[in-house]
Amino acid sequence: MPNNHPAVTGFYHQDTNSIAYVAADPATKRCAIIDPVLDFDRTCRGTHTTFADRMVAFVREQGLTVEWILDTHPHADHFSAAPYLKEVFGAPTTIGEQIVHVQKIWKEIYNLPDFPTDGSQWDRLFKDGEHFRIGELDVEVIFSPGHTAASITYVIGDAAFVHDTLFMPDGGTARADFPGGDARALYRSIQRILELPPETRVFTGHDYQPGDRQPRWESTVAEQRAHNTHFRGGVSEDAFVQTREARDRTLAFPALLLDALQINIRGGRLPEPEANGVSYLKIPLNYFHETGCAAIRELKD
């Protein structure tokens, strides 16, 4: 019987309510790191690798070999630690092929005329339906747009890594109002995920601890079908879109969006240091000042 049950370890990043993962094949001790976080001190605007180093220590303690560093999408609320972990382990970095669409949107917002929008900042771009392996584990890529235009799900054996598509059942679903986002596309992406076998483990990329409970990040397709607050009872596409868009209009502008997207469309790399050896972020002043998130929604398409 083929091996289809990865050993999954989640690492919770308290500052951004994010979860990064190590998914390992127990038979071969080969693994992938999924959506790693680079720490960012918002006060002094400094980066550090404390969180990523926890993952490094775990991999080494377990005697694992890292085969892949997998991004599900370009994150808007934290920096990616993929380049750092590539330096440590030498493993290739990946993301979905539609990253090029997101790069084009944000290239215009940041006014980066020389920025390449071809996804070359990653080692491999995955297509919908593509397969690869982690040790003896089969991995399928499912294109999952909605939260962003580039989001993908990695189905590693019996485990689906959905990041900002489904949250835990009591948390519902992710927002779809960023540039390139689409609530209707999100609904259809979630339907594809819910068509996976009911025992499939679902690992989400954020948990905002509804009701101040302890962080959680693992459910099953069956639990999502039965209990997700945005889907239980068989919600229609139109009803979901209406609810999702109304909810999104109440959400605050993400505190790190303009910082994080500038880094993450580069595959997690900081801008090239200038003559003094320091990297600088380029933040558009007053671009969204008048209308806040409403201005972002104007740029969705």
pLDDT band at 2 (very low <50, low <70, confident <90, very high): low
Query: In whole angstroms, what is the distance from residue 279 CA to residue 41 CA?
Result: 15
* pLDDT the model gives residue 288: 73
Per-residue confidence band for 1, with pLDDT thresholds at 50, 70 and 90: very low
Residue 242 confidence (pLDDT) above 60 = yes
Query: Is 210 part of a structural domain of the chain?
Result: yes
pLDDT confidence bin for 262, thresholds 50/70/90 = very high
Question: pLDDT band for position 301 (50/70/90)?
Answer: very low
**Percent residues over pLDDT 70 in the chain:** 95
We report the CATH number of the domain holding residue 103 as 3.60.15.10
The verdict on residue 242 lying in a domain is yes
Provide mean pLDDT across the span 106-129. Answer: 97
The answer, yes or no, to whether residue 290 has pLDDT greater than 80, is no
Neighbours of 135 (CB within 10 A): 18
pTM of the model: 0.94
pLDDT, tens digit, for every residue of 207-239?
Answer: 999 999 999 999 999 999 999 999 887 899 999
In a domain, 226, yes or no: yes
Q: Which residue has the higher pLDDT, 33 or 2?
A: 33
* 2 within a domain of the structure (yes/no): no
Q: How many distinct structural domains can be found in the chain?
A: 1
| pLDDT of 291 higher than 60 | no
Rounded Cα distance, 92 and 123, in Å:
6
Structural domain that includes position 149: 7-298
Does some domain include residue 12?
yes
Burial class of 260 by CB neighbour count within 10 A (0 to 12, 13 to 18, 19+): buried
User: Any idea which of 47-51, 61-65, 231-235 has the lowest mean pLDDT?
Assistant: 231-235
Mean pLDDT of 78-85: 97
Is the residue at 1 inside a domain? Answer: no
**pLDDT score recorded for residue 294:** 52
CA-to-CA distance for 214 and 150, rounded, in angstroms?
30
Residue 254 has pLDDT above 90, yes or no: no
Per-residue tokens: 104: 């084009």
Between 108-117, 161-170, 175-184, 287-296, the lowest mean confidence (pLDDT) is in 287-296
Q: What is the pLDDT of residue 227?
A: 96
Whose CA is closest to 137, among 288, 7, 3?
3
Of 51-55, 269-273, 283-287, the one with minimum mean pLDDT is 283-287
Look over the chain and give the mean of its residue pLDDT values, rounded to a whole number: 93
Mean pLDDT for the stretch of residues 202-210: 96
Q: What is the pLDDT of residue 15?
A: 94
CA gyration radius for the chain? Answer: 18
Q: Using CA atoms, how far apart are residues 82 and 52, in angstroms rounded to an integer?
A: 9
Query: The tokens of 274 are what?
Result: 């200038």
Structural domain includes residue 256:
yes
Residue 297 pLDDT? 52
Report the C-alpha gap between 118 and 60 in whole angstroms: 34
Give the per-residue pLDDT at 289: 64
User: In this model, does residue 293 exceed pLDDT 70?
Assistant: no
